[in-house]
Structure 1
Amino acid sequence: RHSQLSSCYLTTVQDDLGGIYGAIKDNALLSKWAGGLGNDWTPVRALGSHIKGTNGQSQGVVPFLKVVNDTAVAVNQGGKRKGAVCAYLESWHLDIEEFLELRKNTGDERRRTHDMNTANWVPDLLIERMREDRDWTLFSPSDTPDLHDLYGNAFRERYEHYEALAEQGEITLFKKIPAKQLWRKMLTVLFETGHPWITFKDPCNLRSPQQHQGVVHSSNLCTEITLNTSADEIAVCNLGSVNLAAHIKDGELDVQRLERTVNTAVRMLDNVIDINFYAVPQARNSNLKHRPVGLGLMGFQDALYQLGLPYTSPEAVEFADVAMEQLSYFAIRASATLAGERGAYETYEGSLWQQGILPIDSIALLKEARKDGDLSLNTDSRLDWTPIRELIAKHGMRNSNVMAIAPTATISNIVGVSQSIEPAYQNLFVKSNLSGEFTVVNPSLVRDLKAEGLWDNVMVNDLKYFDGSVQQIDRIPAELKARYATAFEIDARWLVEAAARRQKWLDQAQSLNLYMAEPSGKKLDALYQLAWERGLKTTYYLRSLGATGAEKTAPVSAPQPQVCSIDNPDCEACQ
């Protein structure tokens, strides 16, 4: 009865009880109608801050986050699945060290949130200080209220001004720590708990088309949405994903089919904004004013299988670049065409679009704000963007934002392709749903093994024994071992390199999970610094394997349970 078609909502929490509990109420209402939530908690004053009304001291952010956590549990999504919320906090906030520990399994349970997600909102200045082995100062936002809305060089100047005031004794509530110490703690807790995720404030803002209308204060539950939020506006994003695997023909990208798909998708997503049900007025206000949509992709790994490319190859990184440029080209053109038909979005004047700055051009804005060498990103393009620029100049844009790559965890399963931009998790696994459990095998692997004459009962048992991994099966050729390496068998740097090539074409971000079989502090440091150097806006989960694998005690010839035939996973029993 409610046409709830939006995927996620972003809010900023104001620094007073009315604002805090108003935000929690909004969370409850949005969650009721199946929305995922991203909350920006940076404005809320830190522990020990002065409260004028009572002449007392604030309890800080953490106790309120406990209430948010319990609200997410109490108000599930439409009575169907549990509520999902992510809290963001900027890295200069005085409560950041306690925030990092929210997901730990030890410590005071009243200061733990086991059911919600957390994310760091990291300014470039922290990374710079960490690399230079300098100190970092933590403040309460009640003393430094404008830092929340500043980014780039303006943030740097104001932050250093507040540091000078602290040195002079004009700000008394602050804490100075080595930047390396905070960065190390962020990575340590990320490894231990999977949270808080690391997301980068400056790339999100410096490359945002809507800089003239406000500030991006956080991302969303899945770290792919980068939209402005304020007291009056709850950002909403309406997502769709192109099945890239269905657009490969004769060993290359089917550009004509992709064009038709994207034209239809952008039109449909724009329609969603008008027919949607809005649970709170701030969401309606924001969505109708700016009309953002997020078109992404899924089936990237399946497309690589069809092209015969391993994920860990320069050719796969190049394909990520080529495919995203084409999708971006058609999506931006479709929005400009819709603007000619339906009118430009209300706040178009003054946007980067209106200034003739496309996503590929906005990289220069990020480079300008960074120190030399701190942004190393390939900026090549293959298409002639002049017609797109001319079309935008003529009609404007129908949507303030057009692209974002979501995780597609459910819809990719329904369609039967690999999730989003993910590498294959396993080549063989048992999937459970309401219909029961059934074995899923990688059909591309089966096809290629058959072509090599290697598909037989021994291979089936070997695959079961090694949990779908092909790396330890001697008779499989090296080429197939590379092509069918799974997520934990891939060097995570390849995921970052492919993501960087996509990011240059995106006006929003992408849900980028990173996999590491044997994490170490050194590896994590190198990986997340690489993500920052390549200009990524956000990262998502860090996934690592348990320290020990299951012992293989059952003989290979043991009777197998009665399940679908492994080489025909699409039989009727699995539907």
Structure 2
Amino acid sequence: MSPTLSIAATSPTQTKIQVIRRDGSPTPLDISRIRAVVEWACAGKEANPITLEAGLTTRLRHGVTTRDIQDNLINCALEMCSPTEPDWRYVAGRLHIWNLWKDTQVARGKRDASTPGTHLYQDYAQEAIAKVRSGHYNDRLLTYTVEELEEAGSWIDPNWDIDYDYAGAVLLTKRYLLPNELPQEALLTCALLLASVETPQDRLIWARQFYEAIARRKISLATPILANLRVPKGSLSSCFIAAMDDNLESIFETITDTARISKNGGGVGVNVSRIRATGSWVMEKANASGGVIPWIKLLNDTAIAVNQGGRRAGAVTVSLDIWHLDVPEFLECQTENGDRRRKAYDIFPQLVISDEFMRRVVAAQEWTLVDPYEVRVKFGVELSALWGEKFEELYQKIERSLGQEITLYKKISARELFKEIMRSQVETGMPYLWFKDTSNRANPNQHEGYIPGGNLCQESWSNVTPHKFAHTCNLDSLNLANLEVSELPQICDTAVRILDNTIELTSPPFEASAAHNERYRTIGVGAMGLADWLAKHRISYSNLEAIDNLFEDIGYHCTRASMELSKERGAYPAFAGSEWSKGHLIGAKPVEWFSDNANEKERWQTLSEDIQKHGIRNSHITAIAPNTSSSLVQGCTASILPVYSRFFYDKWAKGTVPIAPPFIRDSFWFYPENKTIDQKIVIKAVAKMQQWIDTGISMEILFNLNQGVYFPENPDRAIKAKDIFETLVLAWQEGCKAIYYVRTVQKDDFKESGDGCVACAN
């Protein structure tokens, strides 16, 4: 039997144990080398290296591999992680990066080195050129000379590799790195490519600014940029929205476009509100149409079949206006009962909600569902293209003609329909709700069309014209956990410039996407780590003034950055006649609004004048995505919502992984848990942010169904349907543009109540 020994009891002179190195060669066990790695991994952290060494007792044996030793150290560190000792996750992250360094060292045939990171990063220029020649890197990188690449390589700080906790290190290496690639090589190459569209005399200046902002994790690149920018012909856009016209050619062309988007890893929204309803006319035959569901099912199957290169199933949200006759069946398309041939379990349903509907919900009035084809034939108008007063005028005219011009319709209680929506949300988390009038009022391009619905994550949208313009948007995010307000001017400039450059670099998946990119130049600078920023400053989500001021700064600096780019590069082509051209600012609001509501009023007046004079480079500039996975890489909390839990273990393929916010050790009680916060507080905070974000915010709402959570004065009181109803209505009233998922915390004995709540929770 092979001997097993303790580090504490063993020395190199006491044993003849042979260790198998990564290149397959044996070497005598050298405890001092293990101890050196342990001390390196624990340096500067609240983690005792002796404790980690003790965890390896009895695990050293003859023939053990260096990888086994390292993996055992990682597992020991993960097991010791807790809310009181959270730094062990950083120790595990460093050990994971050490594994990566050593594996890369062997793959590249480098000699053994005590500091492999520093040793490996000395050859960036040669490695980058080799990857271009092998087809792994985009040949645009050779825009730079060898001397420029060598200079760029000198910017690398290997210590930036070891800032990640275990979850971030694993996600970075497994999801984003190419074979035989190191983290700083990936980030530097992204920065160089992003700067390659700059003038030759400025590109290295911008490349360094981009690289340091990304490597220091002050700016997070969206997954398509980080994953696809380095490879040849990669699509860099995150968000797409298409719309179907009511004919076979349009329907199947949209399905093909959806497949192309999915192939390139993008999420897509498809609006189907123009499609005639079930029982409508086809080729002048009554009751011949199967409605929207068969086409939604085709979109569903496309998402499964075109599975993003085998990485994951395609992601499609299908939106339908709330007046459409097929809305009740649309709400049932993911339930278990009914005709299985009319189910679509793999799409994400989204309802497009008008102000008129919400007013009738609040007033408990009737609502009418109609067929868009009959409206189009009888009134000569596309109902789905209308919003605001024009929609309300036609809709009321339609209602007056029921039983006369309009024969295919259904009257229903608006509130009962809203309860059905709530029932589905509590059971499945969906449908998403996208507030059409709120979003279109804020559209700066009202002179050229309308926005039909939201994107997959409910934060990005702009004008869509079937088969002419498909909304296309590139995203990045500010990491507020690593930023102070004084840094915002420069970081916002950098974030906006990065995204404007991606428009020049991306390969749109189809013609209507390319046309939209060119005409509207839509980008979305977002934010993550708000919960960390608040915790670091010892304030809460109830401090609306601080949140308001922070996002005013973000909105101002990002908007100003796009204006400055317009001076340099020109305004987006659709600028003339837009709300921007009239001096209206974020959300198409007149400058007088900013005089009444801004903390720093004068700068907005100046900005309005500058935009009218110089134009603005991007029609939409800010949008806050959910950032669930990328926030783990960034080492911060996701998006702008409170943490679900201060500390928890997530189940991954290789076991459980500790997840905690960055400042948990020093600011534990300043991280309120979302599962215990009244969601009306969250909605009011998001509404404050929304005033300064020109597109949308991915806002999940989380309801805890257990007793005594929201009502400490009454421990027997649990949330009721009335409370959920009031919260959802509040989101509309406060000016939120969309509701993403509705999440619930399970309550075992939650039963049907008299006011319409439901028993199930997701």
Amino acid at match of 1:273: I
Q: Deviations 1:470-529 (Å, cap 9, x if unpaired)? A: xxxxxxxxxx3xx33311111101110011101111211110011110153211210111
Amino acid at match of 1:547: K
Amino acid at match of 2:524: G
Aligned to 2:656: 437
Contact persistence 1:11–1:234 (CA under 8 A): yes
Identical aligned residues as a percent: 35
Aligned to 1:299: 529
Secondary structure in 2 matching 1:402: coil
Query: What is the Cα deviation at residue 547 of structure 1?
Result: 1.8
Q: Deviations 1:113-141 (Å, cap 9, x if unpaired)? A: 21110111001000112222221111111
Equivalent residue for 1:261, pick from 491, 504, 510:
491
Contact persistence 2:552–2:598 (CA under 8 A): no
Contact persistence 1:5–1:272 (CA under 8 A): yes
Q: Deviations 1:128-160 (Å, cap 9, x if unpaired)? A: 122222211111110223221111111110101
| TM-score computed with the length of structure 1 as normaliser | 0.83
Distance in structure 2 (CA, Å) of the matches to 1:113 and 1:298: 32
Amino acid at match of 2:600: R
Counterparts of 1:16-415 in structure 2 under 5 Å?
Answer: 16-52=247-283, 57-145=288-376, 146-167=382-403, 169-231=404-466, 232-248=468-484, 254-255=485-486, 257-311=487-541, 313=542, 315=543, 317-359=544-586, 362=589, 379-384=597-602, 385-415=604-634
Contact persistence 1:207–1:365 (CA under 8 A): no
Contact persistence 2:631–2:638 (CA under 8 A): yes
Of residues 423-432 and 123-132 in structure 1, the stretch that sits farther from structure 2 once superposed is 423-432
Secondary structure in 1 matching 2:373: coil
Equivalent residue for 2:741, pick from 528, 538, 541:
541
CA RMSD of aligned residues (A): 1.9
Aligned to 2:675: 488
Distance in structure 2 (CA, Å) of the matches to 1:88 and 1:41: 6
Aligned to 1:475: none
Cα pair distance change 1:324/1:178, threshold 3 Å? same
Query: What is the Cα deviation at residue 110 of structure 1?
Result: 1.7
Contact persistence 2:444–2:587 (CA under 8 A): no
Distance in structure 1 (CA, Å) of the matches to 2:353 and 2:658: 41
Q: Deviations 1:82-138 (Å, cap 9, x if unpaired)? A: 210100000000000111112223332222221110111001000112222221111
Aligned to 1:504: 691
Cα pair distance change 1:176/1:364, threshold 3 Å? farther
Contact persistence 2:259–2:303 (CA under 8 A): yes
Secondary structure in 2 matching 1:22: helix
Query: What is the Cα deviation at residue 52 of structure 1?
Result: 1.8
Query: What is the Cα deviation at residue 265 of structure 1?
Result: 0.8
Q: Deviations 1:151-173 (Å, cap 9, x if unpaired)? A: 11111101011111214x11111
Cα pair distance change 1:441/1:286, threshold 3 Å? closer
Secondary structure in 2 matching 1:50: coil
Secondary structure in 2 matching 1:3: coil
Cα pair distance change 1:364/1:148, threshold 3 Å? farther
Of residues 437-446 and 196-205 in structure 1, the stretch that sits farther from structure 2 once superposed is 437-446
Secondary structure in 2 matching 1:288: helix
Contact persistence 2:441–2:588 (CA under 8 A): no
Query: What is the Cα deviation at residue 434 of structure 1?
Result: 6.0
Amino acid at match of 1:357: H
Query: What is the Cα deviation at residue 383 of structure 1?
Result: 4.1
Contact persistence 1:87–1:119 (CA under 8 A): yes
Distance in structure 2 (CA, Å) of the matches to 1:84 and 1:365: 41
Unpaired runs of at least 5, structure 2: 1-231, 377-381, 706-718, 750-762
Alignment coverage as a number of residue pairs: 496
Distance in structure 2 (CA, Å) of the matches to 1:198 and 1:56: 30
Amino acid at match of 1:514: I
| TM-score computed with the length of structure 2 as normaliser | 0.63
Cα pair distance change 1:44/1:364, threshold 3 Å? farther
Contact persistence 2:584–2:591 (CA under 8 A): no
Of residues 55-64 and 418-427 in structure 1, the stretch that sits farther from structure 2 once superposed is 55-64
Equivalent residue for 1:6, pick from 233, 237, 260:
237
Report which of the two structures shows the higher radius of gyration computed on alpha carbons. Answer: 2
